[in-house]
A and B are shown apart, each in its own frame.
Chain A
Amino acid sequence: MQKRAFDIDKNLIIRLKEGSRQAFNRLFDIYNQKLYFFAFGYLKSEKEAEEIVQETFLKIWERRQAIDPALSVNAYLFKIAFNFIQKRLIKILKEEELKHDLAGEIVSFDDYTANTLNYHFLMQRIDELIEELPPRQRQIIELRKLDGYSVKEISEQLSLAVKTVEAHLTAGLKFLKEHLKSEKFDDLLLFLITSRKKWQTG
């Protein structure tokens, strides 16, 4: 018999503009979970997502006097959060660039696999396999393929002959390639836009 819509009270916004901490905390209570899980979905880290919640609400408080009560709180909150999420996401994407080059090197992707294999899962497997490498190979693969150092720089850093570094590199890559080949990637993704002609085999 109770019917309650969880609509944001316009009153809340007006009170927030006036500097009411209570209104601010109420807003926090209403949106913190949605914002947290949204940020988590994109940034894939609890710590990052918590930081987004923190930064966003701080900014909302800082800019409280500029809020337009006619606008939806949902949209306003997103606008503020987006700037923080975007910055973080771009940073993460840039940091991981080399790792994705490595993936392309180990798995030669064709049109079909590039579109259907569960890539998230593949990248996790690559992480796991790198940890399984013998320590020297792992070190050299990481330095060369994830940190981007040249073979020469690595040989100097580790006091090894260039040929030795190259040998470890080759062995490591071979290990990764072989182990990935034997995996059964039969996770097809949801969401298909299919043309009956396109994927016809034979």
Chain B
Amino acid sequence: MNEKLNLLRRYFGNKYSRNDYLTLRKLFFSENNEAENLMSRHWNEFRPNQAEHDLSEVKTSVNRAIGSASGHLLPKRFFHTYSKIAAVLLLPVLLALGLLYFQFNHFLFQKDVFVEIQTPSGSRTHLNLPDGSAVWLNGDSYIRYPAAFSGTREVEIAGEAFFKVKSDKEHPFLVSANNLYVRATGTEFNVLAYKDEPELSVILKKGKVDLLNARKSELRKIETGHQLCYSKDDSSIKYSEVNAEEYSGWIDGKLIFRNASMKEVMLRMEHWYGVDIEIMDQELLKLHFKATFINESVEEALKLLQSTATFHYRFAERKAGKNGLTENAKIYITKN
């Protein structure tokens, strides 16, 4: 299911293969509601990351149309017929999914088959690991894991991931990021390890985890409701108490800042929206922000931030890069 969602994302971003196209066409030509289910998942995670498109004329014409026409309810029988159709369609879809599940499982039973997933920036995805543990991947993130766990459950990530690990004391769960390991038996925790950021952090929401070094020997235990920050520059460790909600809100589509520096805010917005942000005036780095964003577009978020601090933003002109690929939208933050 996730593979088809990725397909939609690729089509959306104009980075798809011919097979992708043919699969997409088949998906939309079929008479079931698979396309709707997938697209709705895409919709739930989607956040626009471009400069506003002027829709004032659309708004005006809609208002004009409403003003003149008399709004009426759809006839009751429409809803009744629709629910009958939905029931009839559900059975073949269930059968198809059942078959798909068995085929998929069979193919992936080999131990040296690995699954790699890379998410584009400005997106989120959720997946289940072979042992039933759940992972949420934020934008611009990567995960690699074997199709079947044998012994230690080890996965590798880059970017940001939130784990809900299934309890199994016999087989510890190991997450490797940047040459460090997080070991857990059954807990909920967030790992932040973007390659372009100077720090790696682990935030523990529930349970207990240990931080291990590259040789898998223990560096530090982490308690619930605490954050451990490891600095790549000087290998120093900072341990502090935090509100874990703030750091895992993203899995529900919430971007939360609590006394975050301008630099942190912009870095996280870059990953969240899939844009490039450049802060042009050094003074701005001193600013701190507290905000929660749900479903806002990047421009709405910037406007909201402006209501608490003085700065200006400007979208650079969008141009097609080489090979016809459009680059990320670019935003400049200035003093005035």
Contacts and interface: CB of A to CB of B under 8 A. Distances in A.
Interface of A: 1-7, 19, 21, 24-25, 28, 32-34, 36-38, 40-42, 46, 50, 53-54, 57-58, 61-66, 74-75, 78-79, 82, 85-86, 89-90, 93, 100, 103-104, 109, 113-122, 124-125, 187, 189-197
Nearest to A59: B74
A121 B323 contact: yes
A40 B292 CA distance: 27
A50 B55 contact: yes
A57 B44 contact: no
A115 B17 contact: yes
B138 to A, nearest CB: 15
A124 B15 CA distance: 12
Contacts of A196: 112-114
18 contacts: A2-B308, A33-B297, A37-B297, A40-B53, A41-B13, A57-B58, A62-B72, A62-B74, A63-B74, A74-B44, A85-B39, A115-B17, A118-B16, A120-B14, A120-B16, A121-B14, A190-B118, A192-B116
B325 interface: yes
Contacts of A50: 55, 58
Contact of B3 (A7, A75, A79, A193): A193
A5 B294 contact: yes
A78 B66 CA distance: 21
Nearest to A50: B58
Contact of A192 (B12, B118, B295): B118
Contacts of A46: 53
B325 A37 contact: no
Nearest to A104: B18
Nearest to A72: B44
A53 to B, nearest CB: 5
A78 B74 CA distance: 18
Nearest to B13: A41
B304 interface: yes
Nearest to B56: A32
A18 to B, nearest CB: 12
A34 B290 contact: no
The SS class assigned to the A binding surface is: helix
Interface residues of B, number: 70
Contact of A34 (B47, B61, B74): B47
Contact of B61 (A3, A40, A54, A121): A54
Nearest to B298: A33
B48 A33 contact: yes
B116 A28 contact: no
Contact of B300 (A6, A54, A75): A6
A42 B19 contact: no
B73 A66 contact: yes
A100 B17 CA distance: 12
Contact of A28 (B22, B62, B110): B62
A194 B294 contact: no
Contacts of A36: 48, 53, 55
Contacts of B46: 34, 37-38
Interface string B1-20: 00100100111111111111
Contact of B307 (A2, A64, A195): A2
Given A5-B292, A37-B50, 15 more contacts: A6-B295, A25-B59, A38-B48, A57-B62, A63-B73, A74-B295, A93-B25, A115-B19, A116-B17, A118-B323, A120-B14, A191-B6, A191-B118, A192-B116, A194-B114
